Amino acid sequence: MASPITASTALVGVLGDPVRHSLSPVMHNAALAELGLDWVYLALPAPAGQLATVVKALAAMGCRGLNVTIPHKQAVVPLCRELSPLAARLGAVNTLVPHAGGGWLGTNTDVEGFLAPLRSGGPQDWSARRALVLGCGGSARAVVAGLVELGLNSIAVAARRREAVAAFVAGCRGWAPQLQGVDWAQLDGALAGAALVVNTTPVGMAAAGDPDAAERCPLSPHQLDALQAGATVYDLIYIPRPTALLQAAAARGCRSLDGLEMLVQQGAAALRLWSGREHVPVAAMGAAAEAALAG
């Protein structure tokens, strides 16, 4: 049972816009209760124009830690006092930790979270396989870093804005030389040759009960038909469950993964950083998130 909120209860939370759909409060508060920490985790809406004000104010208030989600993972970088080596390399932050000198240390636990489901079946040789990443935002950088760590020697990224793809590839060139851009109009060939397709865009995210959720897919029916049976399609979105993309992929004989396990694992990694505790109740976090989705 959660402890009552008192005048000494500390704050942790997630910044985003929108953020009311997030399962992070449910799973983190379940973990905090098991750990016996007098903390509360809240979803904190932060419009883009107010992000700097919100981040600075929360530091001044003694907030114990923050997650950062769409669309702020890159915008929050210059607001950090210091960056971890991984966050600096990615140019994207998903976790803020109080800095000893004041302000925030920006780091990134998305890579660890992203890899967890792909590694859950034991070691695999990914080196000869091809991966395609849809989208080129902050989450895509973490995904590419994870794919590099897996050892893939062929990684492509595609988005609707050609200039954004070019900038993304150039920004990752120093640590992901195997990365190449793909024009959205030429996506069929990349989809046909991909053993792993990862959607990092917000297209497909929808509130529970949204009647149009089934129509929200980042790929057209023609593009979906280019998927090869047996490929893994990984959608970082976890609401609704399954997304339109994963429903279509499963119907075409693909293995489908959603972003729930990534959410749990990146959240557990953040909680370790905030609390200083090596062991956090990952199972309780996952169970709470599953229950919330089922409800």
Span 167-207, pLDDT tens digits = 999 999 999 999 999 999 999 999 999 999 999 998 987 76
Rounded to whole angstroms, the Cα distance separating 113 from 276 reads 18
DSSP 231-283: -EEEES--SSSS-HHHHHHHHTT-EEE-SHHHHHHHHHHHHHHHH--S---HH
Amino acid at residue number 160: R
- The reported pLDDT for the residue numbered 194 is 96
Burial class (CB within 10 angstroms; exposed 0-12, middle 13-18, buried 19+) of 47: exposed
Say if residue 71 is preceded by a cis peptide, omega within 30 of 0. yes
- DSSP secondary-structure letter at 295? -
Please calculate the CA angle 214-220-224 and round it to the nearest 5 degrees: 95
- The reported pLDDT for the residue numbered 210 is 61
Sorted by where each begins, the domain ranges of the chain are: 10-108+261-294, 112-258
Fold identical between 10-108+261-294 and 112-258? yes
What is the torsion angle, in degrees rounded to the nearest 10, for the CA atoms of residue 176, residue 123, residue 126 and residue 116?
-50
Q: CA Rg, the chain, in Å?
A: 19
The fold adopted by the segment(s) 112-258 is: Rossmann fold (3.40.50)
- Which parts of the chain register pLDDT below 70? 1-2, 207-214
- The reported pLDDT for the residue numbered 271 is 98
Amino acid at residue number 260: L
Q: Whose CA is closest to 280, among 118, 112, 52, 127?
A: 112
**Is 73 a known active-site residue?**
yes
Q: Count of alpha carbons within 13 Å of 180, Cβ hemisphere only?
A: 10
Residue in this structure with the two tokens 């905090």, named with its chain if needed? 32
Q: Name residue 21's beta-bridge partners.
A: none
- The reported pLDDT for the residue numbered 1 is 54
- The reported pLDDT for the residue numbered 4 is 85
Q: Whose CA is closest to 185, among 218, 166, 162?
A: 162
Of the candidates 28, 72, 73, 129, the residue annotated as catalytic is 73
Query: Using an 8 Å Cβ cutoff, are 101 and 81 in contact?
Result: yes
For the domain covering 10-108+261-294, report its CATH number: 3.40.50.10860
